[in-house]
């Protein structure tokens, strides 16, 4: 996936946030449920069709301290996986 493309969250997917800052991504059409950690919750909220992957990475690096160098690749991998599972798409 090109890092300049802007991912968009599937509007059918529900994000449930819990007290411990973890979240659940729930697909009501399939009943599939995925638990995501607080960083992934923050990434999910940035997947709004207005931020490309590089911008999302920059935003995460601004929000958190001690962000590892591998963060860029890991965020890319996370968004890639979301796209494979149809949680995320891209504007044509």
Q: Write the burial class of residue 42 (CB in 10 Å: 0-12 exposed, 13-18 middle, 19+ buried).
A: middle
Give the separation between CA 37 and CA 90, rounded to whole angstroms: 23
Smaller CB distance to another protein: residue 3 or 22? 22
Within positions 9 to 28, which residues make up the interface with another protein, using CB under 8 A? Answer: 12-19, 24, 26, 28
33-72 positions binding another protein, by CB under 8 A = 33
Q: 14: helix, coil or strand?
A: strand
CB of 34 to another protein, least distance (A): 13
Interface positions with another protein (CB under 8 A): 12-19, 24, 26, 28-29, 31, 33
């Amino acid at each position: 996936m090109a890092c300049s493309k802007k991912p968009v969250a599937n509007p059918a997917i529900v994000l449930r946030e819990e007290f411990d800052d973890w979240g659940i991504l729930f697909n009501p059409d399939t009943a599939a449920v995925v638990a995501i950690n607080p960083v992934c919750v923050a990434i999910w909220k940035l997947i709004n069709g207005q931020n490309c992957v590089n911008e999302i990475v920059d935003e995460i690096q601004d929000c958190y301290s001690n962000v590892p160098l591998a963060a860029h690749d890991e965020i890319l991998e996370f968004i890639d996986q979301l796209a494979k599972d149809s949680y995320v798409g891209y504007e044509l």
